[in-house]
Amino acid sequence: MQQSAVTVKGWADIPPAVLGRREHDDGKPSITYRSAGDRYLLVEYGPMEFDLTLNFYVHSVEAKLEEVGLDGLVETSPGFRSMLVSYDAATVKPTDLVRELDAVHDDLPGVDGLVLPSRLFRLPACFDDSQSRQAVERYARSIRPDAPNCVNDNNIDYTLQYNGLRDLDELVEHVTATDLWTGFIGFFPGLPFMFPVDPRHVLFAPKYNPTRTWTAEGAIGLGGPCYSIYPVESPGGYQLIGRTLPIFDPQQRNPIFAEDPIMVKPGDRIRFHQVSEDELLDTFARVHTGEYEYQVEDGTLDVAAHLAWSAQHREEAEEWARIRDSAAAVTEVP
Amino acid sequence: MTIEVLQPGIQTTVQDYPGRVGLMSRGFFPAGAMDHLALRLGNALVGNEPGDAALEVALGKAKLRFDRAAVVALTGATVEATVDGEPVPSWQAVEVPAGGELRLGIAKGPGFRVYIAVAGGIDVPEVFGARATYTMGALGGVEGRALRKGDVLPVGEPRRASRGSLDQSRLPAYVNEWDLEVVPGPHASEEFLAEEDVALLFTRQWTVDRNSNRTGIRLDAQRLTWARSNGGIAGGHPSNILDNGYPVGGINLNGDTPVILGPDGPTSGGFVVVAVVAHASMWKLGQMRPGADKITLRPVSVEQAQALADEQNALVEEVRAA
């Protein structure tokens, strides 16, 4: 079809998606304001890089917006390095809201001094479990038989290949050796998007193409640098590597859900430890009878301390990244 | 007063409008009526507040018994309906006697979802601030699920007597080939899309995939040129980005497959959003027939989209005040 964009009726007369940008300064990331339909703005921070400090900054903006409350702002939905802002079109114009958001960003300090509240959950996980295999098998049979990420009816082989790992044990070692930082909650109710705090244990995986229509409750997925736990049976696009306990229960069958059916909050950390599938299923059942007590500790994440610690391990992390990236470079993408 | 479900149809749910607002950061899309215009007009016709809870009946074919005299309005997809065997019209308030049976035939199209508004509204408990059924989270409506035979639904006290009707000329147009008004999305920029991609997205006609439902409308797979060769650290495909929040009605490119996010859709994900359905046009998603209907995306500006919403709200208000 030999048509240029300007021939699309109406498109050329419509203002561009980008409503404004500001450069990074004073320990704060750059910001891009994008229009996202007739009721939303998307605010993006920094470049599209896996840099946890961008997410720490999002947490600080979110807290500030809750504190000040802007006219016409309905709700915010944070992402890894972004924030979707929903507004009431009858109260505020998007360009005015951008100006007000810009003023909020002016008033915020940089990320270095932040100390963020952060609980630590220790969760059992079984890897290469039967439910994940079933989801992959179902996908390969009914949606995409030639998907390179679903060879042998599992996503483990592909995840190993993409990251240059020898075997499942090495994968498990990486996943369980680091706390995972909950950057934000989204997708479906209570689903945490979690990122490795230790740069020496970062794994990557492309997402499904197209996505799955079914995933088991409690499945652990990896997409890009991000882990997720599926809170309900749902569609999904992350590579499935294992399964853990329920994290969402509107029936509130365990004391952990007594105050809130959503267990994990933004800023919480998760640490997995490996158990057998039998043990996991047994614990799963004990969650529902209310007998199982979730292992959770209060704590904080000190951004300056985290940055100093990461710097100490930079060389090791960079070496691991080289190995991983060279494996990814020769692996087919779905 | 109560309504007993004698025959539920393939997917009948309690829905309201605007659903659960304010929970996106916890992973909840709002749920609520997929055709919010038909729901609001139905409520207005029976004297309810426009956002009250009513029944959303996918494809029709349902049977209900009312234990006391009630006033109902059928809106949405055209359907043959009877009360105790006597045909009743859509888009106007009709009376059902005590013990009466309302029966809906199959909605043969155009249109896919029928709404049954009842004076007083469906009075199931509010969960997280709304009555809407959200099956993904198994909450709201009746136990967070589609209705089953034998369910008994509570109905609230009618607010005021109403015998409204809507002039044929004011009805929304139900068709099989839809023009869908969309506003540019956050990633409709030259960093992501090639010029020819924009031309293709907004000129070709798309088919509504049979795997379409309240979470989303899937369109045909379509390989694009893209302005970049891959998604960088977010993943290998150029449609991949580091996960961010999705707007309701966002059209994301899920690899090579565009998906329009419906009211039960995911609040975030790692795919670019190239356009967003104008809020006033979201109702059309509820009336698209899976596996059959066609869509052409029509770009409009934010201001044009908001003007459409104003016009629509005025219509609902006019019917309500009549």
Instruction: Tell me what pLDDT residue A115 has.
Output: 93
Q: Indicate whether B164 belongs to any domain.
A: yes
Q: Does B307 touch chain A (CB under 8 A)?
A: no
Q: Are residues B211 and B159 in the same domain?
A: no
With CB atoms and an 8 Å threshold, state whether B235 touches A35. Answer: no
- Average pLDDT (A300-319) is 95
Whether residues B164 and B211 share a domain: the answer is no
Distance, CA of A177 to CA of A166 (rounded, Å): 17
The pLDDT tens digits for B260-298 are 999 999 999 889 999 999 999 999 999 999 999 999 999
Q: Indicate the average pLDDT of chain A.
A: 93
| Residue ranges making up the domain that contains B30 | 2-172
The Cα of A333 is separated from the nearest Cα of chain B by a number of Å equal to 6
A23-53 core/surface letters (b: 16 or more CB in 10 A; e: else): eeeeebbebbbbbbbbbbbbbbbbebebbbb
A/B interface, count of CB pairs below 8 Å: 249
A331: closest chain B residue by CA: B236
pLDDT at A10: 67
Minimal Cα distance from B222: which residue of A? A210
The helix/strand/coil state of A182 is strand
* Residues of A whose CB is below 8 A from B302: 15, 35, 37-38, 89, 94
Position A5 pLDDT exceeds 60: no
Confidence class of residue A112 from pLDDT cuts 50, 70 and 90? confident
Cα separation, A129 vs A131, whole angstroms? 6
Provide, as residue numbers in chain A, all residues whose Cβ is less than 8 Å from the Cβ of B299: 8-11, 14
| pLDDT value of position A17 | 83
Q: How many folded domains does chain B comprise?
A: 2
Here the ipTM equals 0.94
In this complex, is the C-beta atom of B300 within 8 Å of any C-beta atom belonging to chain A? yes
Burial A175-203 (b: 16+ CB within 10 A, else e): beebbbbbbbbbbbbbbbbbbbbbbbbbb
pLDDT, tens digit, 9 for 90 and up, residues A93-104: 999 999 999 999
Enter the DSSP assignment of B10: S
| pLDDT mean for each 10 residues of chain B (322 residues) | 97 98 95 98 96 98 97 96 97 97 97 98 96 92 97 94 82 96 92 89 94 94 89 80 94 91 94 96 98 96 93 94 82
pLDDT at residue A6 tops 50:
no
Q: Do B264 and B129 have their domain in common?
A: no
Q: Chain-centre distance of CA B61, in angstroms? A: 18
**Residue-wise DSSP of B79-143:** --EEETTEEE-SSBEEEE-TT-EEEEEE--SS--EEEEEETT-B-PPPBTTB---BGGGTBSTBT
| B156 shares a domain with B120 | yes
**Paired tokens of A224:** 């890009």
| Distance between CA atoms of residues B262 and B34, nearest Å | 7
Test mutation, B23, B25, B304, chain A, max A CBs within 10 A: B25
CB B24, CB B78: distance < 8 Å = no
- Give me the residues paired with residue B5 across strands: B64
Note if the bond before B18 is cis, omega within 30 degrees: yes
pLDDT in tens, B302-315: 999 999 999 999 99
DSSP A53: H
The strands making up B70-76's β-sheet, listed across from edge to edge, are B11-15, B54-58, B113-118, B70-76, B93-96
Do B162 and B120 form a contact (C-beta atoms < 8 A)?
A: no
Q: Clarify whether residues B232 and B276 are in a common domain.
A: yes
Q: In this structure, are B28 and B162 located in the same domain?
A: yes
Spatial distance between the Cα atoms of A84 and A62, rounded to a whole number of angstroms: 11
Return d(Cα A274, Cα B177) in angstroms, integer.
Answer: 53
Phi and psi of A55, rounded to 5°? -70, -40
Q: Do the chains contact at B234 and A48, CB–CB below 8 Å?
A: yes
Q: Which two tokens stand for residue A254?
A: 């365990």
Instruction: Tell me which residues of chain B, numbers 164 to 183, contact chain A at a CB-CB cutoff of 8 Å.
Output: 183
Tell me: the pLDDT tens digits for B123-165? 999 999 999 999 888 899 999 999 999 999 999 999 887 778 8
Chain B CB contacts of A4 under 8 Å are 195-196, 199
Last residue of a domain, one of B118, B149, B172: B172
Residue B151 maps to a domain: yes
- State residue B147's pLDDT score: 98
**Are B229 and B305 part of one and the same domain?**
yes
Phi/psi of residue A281, nearest 5 degrees:
-65, -35
- Which residue out of A2, A73, A146, A207 would a mutagenesis test of the B interface target, given it has the greatest number of B Cβ atoms within 10 Å? A207
Q: Which of A55-64, A171-180, A207-216 has the lowest mean pLDDT?
A: A207-216
Residue A25 has pLDDT above 50, yes or no: yes
Q: Are residues B305 and B228 in the same domain?
A: yes
Best CA proximity match to A150, nearest among A163, A131, A137, A167: A137
Q: Of A8, A185, A205, which has the smallest distance from its Cβ to B26's Cβ?
A: A185
| Cis bond before residue A210 (omega within 30° of 0) | yes
The beta-carbon neighbor of B137 closest among A36, A224, A232 is A232
User: Quick one: B70 and B183 in the same domain?
Assistant: no
Residues B230 and B276 both lie in one domain: yes
Answer with the one of B157, B172, B187 that is the final residue of a domain.
B172
In chain A, alpha helices (H): 52-68, 94-107, 130-142, 156-163, 168-176, 277-288, 303-312, 314-329
